[in-house]
Amino acid sequence: MPLLRANLFVIALLAALNAGAESVKILIQRSPLAGSQYYAVERLWAEIRPGDHLTLVREPRNRHDRNAVRVDWKGNPLGYVPRAENRAVAAALDAGEPLEARVLKLNDDPNPWRRVEFAVYLIL
């Protein structure tokens, strides 16, 4: 089954490039925003929209997590890629891979782990 998925991926990538696509986005992960209760989400809630661009900021000297990746919106820290899911994103950023992050969903939920969902894409 993994070989079938890999083949389908290659076929889809080639089709997109042959169709004249300037770039192809590959979804790397979907995640909830971690730690948002400590940052600017509450203050900026009315301004953030699904589809908004997010900036991923690598924090290799973060004292809590050496793979820390902060998530910013228009220069405002919103939270972090969850620790359990940040290793691949940190490695890609360290390697200079072209990543893009976007807001997927906003939920008016008292649980901060359910408020913001975002996606990380590899750009080819």
Could you state, in order of their start, the residue ranges of all structural domains in the chain?
23-123
C-alpha distance from residue 43 to each of 8, 78, 109 (Å)? 43, 10, 15
CATH for the stretch 23-123:
3.30.70.2330
Q: Which residues of the chain have pLDDT under 50?
A: 1
What single-letter amino acid sits at 31?
Answer: S
Task: Record the tokens describing residue 124, joined without a space.
Answer: 């080819």
Per-residue model confidence as pLDDT tens digits over 74-102: 999 999 999 999 999 999 999 999 999 99
Distance of CA 121 to the CA centre of its chain: 7
pTM: 0.83
Q: Which of 109, 112, 99, 108 is nearest to 53 (CA)?
A: 99
Beta bridge partners of 77: 72
d(CA 114, CA 36): 10
